[in-house]
Amino acid sequence: MSKSGHLFLSPMALYVHKYGGTSMGSIERIQNVAKRVAKWHDAGHQIVVVPSAMSGETNRLLGMAKEIMAQPDGRELDMLASTGEQVSVALLAIALQALGKQAVSYAGWQVPIKTDSAFTKARIRSIDDAKVRKDLNAGKIVIITGFQGVDADGNITTLGRGGSDTSAVAVAAAIKAAECLIYTDVDGVYTTDPRVVSEARRLKTVTFEEMLEMASLGSKVLQIRSVEFAGNYKMPTRVLSSLTDPLTPLAEEAASGTLISFEEDKNMEQATITGIAFSRDEAKITVLGVPDRPGIAYQILGPVADANIEVDMIIQNQSVEGKTDFTFTVPRGEYAKAVEVLNNSVKAHIGAAAINGDTKVSKVSVVGVGMRSHVGIASQMFRTLSEEGVNIQMISTSEIKISVLIDEKYMELAVRALHKAFDLDSAK
Amino acid sequence: MSKSGHLFLSPMALYVHKYGGTSMGSIERIQNVAKRVAKWHDAGHQIVVVPSAMSGETNRLLGMAKEIMAQPDGRELDMLASTGEQVSVALLAIALQALGKQAVSYAGWQVPIKTDSAFTKARIRSIDDAKVRKDLNAGKIVIITGFQGVDADGNITTLGRGGSDTSAVAVAAAIKAAECLIYTDVDGVYTTDPRVVSEARRLKTVTFEEMLEMASLGSKVLQIRSVEFAGNYKMPTRVLSSLTDPLTPLAEEAASGTLISFEEDKNMEQATITGIAFSRDEAKITVLGVPDRPGIAYQILGPVADANIEVDMIIQNQSVEGKTDFTFTVPRGEYAKAVEVLNNSVKAHIGAAAINGDTKVSKVSVVGVGMRSHVGIASQMFRTLSEEGVNIQMISTSEIKISVLIDEKYMELAVRALHKAFDLDSAK
C-alpha cells in the first residue's frame, strides 16, 4: 500500500476518527478509544473524533418511547435519541482529559451541523468549521456527536441509523481532513466474505464506486449514505479495526484497513475484479402469462412499491403470442407480503395466468472498476459458473458489477469458484 | 384556603408544573404525569412543565464520569448530566401526544435559558419567553428541561443538584405564570415533622421567609435557591403531592399542598408561630481559655472555613480575667475534621487551653413571621423547655426564628412540647 502514503509524510495532518457503538460500549473501551486518539495527537496530528452512542443505548432510548406510543413524533424521538451521542462525547472528552489532553465536546447544534427538518432521517446541509478549527489550532482534540444536527428552527434532528458514519465523513469534508478513519469491528473490506472463502483477502484500497456496490450488496461495513457522502466530497475514507491494541505503532495503524479512494489505480497490473459480493436474502417472484402491453411493468410493480417492498433485479421474457412472463426479486422477508399484494391487487386486474416464486435463491456479484476497461468479464463469469454446473436464473449488470441469481445451495460454491477464477486468492 | 382562590376563577390561567425525578421514575409514572398535565390543559389552562431527570439517571451519568476521573471537567460533566432531563422532556412530550395533546419539548439552550458559565453550579441570567408563549398560544403544552441552560458561548451549563426547582420557578417568573406548582413526594410543608409529632398539620400557606428558614433547617421540600428565586420574583409557589390519583378533581388538587405566598396574612387570628423545625445533624465545639482580644473569632473560624466546614451557631462567653470560651456548631459529619483543624492549626497559635466538643446535640427552632409583631415568643419557648426539664446549651435568633441547641435525647420531647405550646396541634 502506498497510495496515500504521502499523507503520513506531512508533519501535521488533520484526521477525523469515527468510533462505532461497540468501540464506545463501556468505560474501559472509551478509555481505549482515548488512548488511540491521544497516540495520533501525540504524533503531531490534529484530531476530530465522531463517536456513536454506547452500544445498546439508542435502542434503550427508542424502546422507552415505543413503550408509550407505537409511532412517536419524529421531533421528540430525535430529542430523545440524540442524548446517546451526547453522553458518548462528554465521556470521551473526560477520558482524554484524564490522559492529560485538552479535549472539548460538541453536540451537533453547537458546531453547528445544519440539516433539513426530516426528523429521524435528516440530511446534512452545512457544517460550520469555525469553532472546530479554532479549537484544533489551540491544540485541542475536538469531539463531535455523530448521528445528529440541528434544523433551521433550532430543533435537534438525527440522520437515522448508521448516521454517525455519515456525520464523520461530512465533518471530514467540511474541515478538509486528510483522511476520515472509520474504526469498526472489522479490519477492512475483503474480496469476499472470509467465512465463505478462507482465501479471501483484505483489500488495501477500493474505489468509491466499488464500495458503493459492495455496501449495497450486503457488505455492511459502512452505511451506504456515508459512502455516497465520501464520493460527493472525494474524502479519502479508511475502514479499520478498533479491536487492535490502542498503542499499535501509528505508522502500522495508519496503513491498516481498507482505504476507499477516489483515484483509479494507474497500475496496469491491478486485478480486473475487486471482489465477489453475495446476498442470501433474496426471493424471486414470477408473474406468468402477462399480456405484453405498454404499462404492464408499472401495473405489476406499482402495488408492490406502494406496499413499501423494495424490488431489486427485474427481467421480462421475450413475448410469445402476446403473452410474457415477468420476474423480479425482493428481500426474502418481504416475499409473502409481495405475493399477497400480487394475488389481491394485480393478478386479476392485469389478467395474469399465475403467480409463482422461489425463496431458495441467492445473488452473487463480481464487482470491479477494472471491468470498464476489460472485455470478457461476463463471459468468464458465466463460463466459471457453467463449469461448476451452476444454473443462472437471472442476470443484471451495471458498469462495474455483474450479478446473477442462482439456487441458494450453489452459492458458496459459486463464490469460491469466482474468487479463484478472477485471481483474488493470490496476493495482490 | 382562599388566599389564591381567585386564580382559579380565571377562565384560563398560565401554570408551571414541576415534577421531580421520582415522579418521572418510570414509563408508567411519566404516563401519570401526562394524565395530570392533560387534566389541567383540558380545564382550559396553559401549561408549561419542567421535569427532572428520571430518578437515578443523573447519578448513573455522573458515576460513569467519576469512573474515568476523580475530578472531571465541569463543562463536560454538564454536557453529560444535561442529557438526563432531555430524555425526560422527550418522553413526557410523547406521553402527552399519546393522550391526544399537542406537546413540544425544549432543552434549556433551545428556549434559551441563559446562564453564567459556572459549570455544574450555574446561575440563570435570563429566559426568553417568545418561543414558549407562541407555542402556548397555539394550544401546545410546552415541556422544558429543568436543571440546565446555556452560557454566552453556547456551552451547556447545569444549575447543580435540585436545580430543576429553580428552573421551574425561574420559568414561571419569566412567563408570568399565575402559580408554580412543585409536584413532589410529600404533600406539602408541615408545622413539624409528622414522624416526630403525630399532631403535625400541613400548612395551607407559608410565607417566603418562613419557607427559607424551614428549608435551611432541613425541611428538604424545596431547594433553597428555588425559594430565593420565588422570593425575588414574588412567584406564588405551591408544593403538592405527585402521588395522588392523577385524575383527582382539579379544584381539589389546585387547593392542596402548601402555597408559599408573598403577602403576609392580614388575618389577625393567625398563629404566631408557623412551625417547629429541627436538625439532628449538629455537633458543638468549644475552644476553652481563649485570650479575649480582637480578631480571635477570625483566628478560630478562619481555618475552619478554609477547610470548607460550614459553621452555624456561634457564641462567645463573657470574658473572665482576659480569657473567654468560644463555642460554635458544625454539621455532625464534619466534627472530627473540625477538631483536627483546631488542634493542628489553631490551639497553639492562639494559646487556647483546650478544645472539647459534643456530637450528641440537636437544634430546635420555632419559625414564624408572626413573631415580628408578637412579644414574648422567646420567653414562652424557654419556659416550655424549662417545664420539660430541657437544658438550653446555645441560643440564636433571627427576625422570624429562634433556635436552641439541646441534648439530642430531649429533641423529640422538645419538638412535641413546643408544637403544643404554640397551638400548632389545633386546626388553624
- Rounded CA gap, A67 and A63, in Å? 6
B89/A contact by beta carbon, under 8 A:
yes
| In the predicted structure, residue B269 carries a pLDDT above the cut 60 | no
Cα angle vertex A229, ends A225, A232, to 5°?
A: 135
CATH topology of domain B275-421: VC0802-like (3.30.2130)
| In the predicted structure, residue B428 carries a pLDDT above the cut 50 | no
Q: How many CB pairs under 8 A join A and B?
A: 101
Q: Do A233 and A169 touch, CB atoms closer than 8 A?
A: yes
- Rounded CA gap, B177 and A171, in Å? 43
Interface-testing mutation among B31, B62, B76, with chain A (most A C-beta atoms within 10 A)? B76
pLDDT in tens, B137-196: 999 999 999 999 999 999 999 997 668 888 999 999 999 999 999 998 888 888 888 888
- Which positions in chain A touch B155 (Cβ < 8 Å)? 110
B206: its cell numbers: 407559608
Tell me whether residue B328 is exposed, middle or buried, using C-beta atoms within 10 angstroms of its C-beta: 0 to 12, 13 to 18, 19 or more: buried
Strands (E), B139-247: 141-144, 148-150, 156-158, 179-184, 205-207, 237-241
CB contact under 8 A, A80 and B87: yes
Tell me whether residue B18 is exposed, middle or buried, using C-beta atoms within 10 angstroms of its C-beta: 0 to 12, 13 to 18, 19 or more: buried
- Rounded CA gap, B138 and B118, in Å? 35
Closest to B107 measured CA to CA, from B124, B84, B130, B126: B84
Bridge-based pairing of strands B392-398 and B401-407 is antiparallel
- Rounded CA gap, B404 and B418, in Å? 12
A87/B contact by beta carbon, under 8 A:
yes
| Average predicted confidence (pLDDT) for chain B | 89
Can you say how many angstroms the Cα of residue B336 is from the centroid of all Cα atoms in its chain? 27
Looking at the DSSP bridge assignments, the partners of residue B355 are B287
B35/A contact by beta carbon, under 8 A:
no
Query: How is residue A11 annotated by DSSP?
Result: S
B73/A contact by beta carbon, under 8 A:
yes
- A68, A82, A107: residue with CB nearest B27: A68
CB contact under 8 A, B80 and A68: no
Cβ count within 10 A of residue B196: 16
DSSP codes joined into one string, B360-393: EEEEEEEE-GGGGS-S-HHHHHHHHHHHTTPPEE
B142/A contact by beta carbon, under 8 A:
no
Looking at the complex, report in whole angstroms how far the Cα of residue B169 sits from the nearest Cα belonging to chain A: 24
CATH number of this structure's domain B5-186+221-261: 3.40.1160.10
Q: Which amino acid is located at B426 in the chain?
A: S
- Which positions in chain A touch B135 (Cβ < 8 Å)? none
- Tallying the residues shown for chain B, one arrives at 428
Query: How is residue A281 annotated by DSSP?
Result: E
- Rounded CA gap, B174 and B151, in Å? 18
- Rounded CA gap, A16 and A177, in Å? 7
CB contact under 8 A, B69 and A95: yes
| In the predicted structure, residue B4 carries a pLDDT above the cut 90 | no
B298: its cell numbers: 477570625
SS3 for B146?
coil
Chain A residue with CA closest to B87: the answer is A80
CB contact under 8 A, A79 and B27: no
H-run or E-run covering B323: strand B323-331
CB contact under 8 A, B95 and A68: yes
Quote ipTM for the complex. 0.79
pLDDT of residue B355: 94
B15: its cell numbers: 401554570
CA atoms within 13 A of residue B87's CA, in its CB half-sphere: 31
A73/B contact by beta carbon, under 8 A:
yes
- Rounded CA gap, B428 and B425, in Å? 9
A286 labeled part of a ligand binding site: no
CB contact under 8 A, B64 and A156: no
Interface-testing mutation among A30, A79, A102, with chain B (most B C-beta atoms within 10 A)? A79
Q: How far is CA A243 from CA A257, A260, B321, in A?
A: 12, 20, 78
Bridge-based pairing of strands B237-241 and B179-184 is parallel
- Which positions in chain A touch B107 (Cβ < 8 Å)? 79, 156
- Which positions in chain A touch B89 (Cβ < 8 Å)? 79
Interface-testing mutation among B32, B79, B85, with chain A (most A C-beta atoms within 10 A)? B79
Chain B residue with CA closest to A68: the answer is B95
Q: Which residues of chain A have pLDDT under 50?
A: 1-9, 266-269, 428
B21 labeled part of a ligand binding site: yes
Q: What is the 3-state secondary structure (H, E, C) of A87-98?
A: HHHHHHHHHHHH
pLDDT in tens, B325-353: 989 999 999 999 999 999 998 999 899 99
Task: Between B318 and A401, name the one with better pLDDT.
Answer: A401
Q: Do A191 and A275 touch, CB atoms closer than 8 A?
A: yes
pLDDT of residue B6: 45
Residue ranges per domain, chain A?
5-186+221-261, 275-421
pTM for the model? 0.81
Q: Do A51 and A19 touch, CB atoms closer than 8 A?
A: yes
Closest to B218 measured CA to CA, from B24, B401, B421: B401
- Angle in degrees, 0-180, between the axes of helices A224-233 and A208-216, rounded to the nearest 10: 170
pLDDT of residue A315: 85
CB contact under 8 A, A30 and B82: no
- A65, A68, A87: residue with CB nearest B83: A87
- Which positions in chain B touch A61 (Cβ < 8 Å)? 87
Chain A residue with CA closest to B76: the answer is A90
pLDDT confidence of B120, banded at 50, 70, 90? very high
Q: How far is CA A289 from CA A112, A321, A341, A347, A416, in A?
A: 57, 10, 17, 10, 37
A202/B contact by beta carbon, under 8 A:
no
- A68, A93, A110: residue with CB nearest B154: A110
B228 labeled part of a ligand binding site: no
Question: Which B positions 151-190 lie with beta carbon below 8 A of chain A?
Answer: 154-156
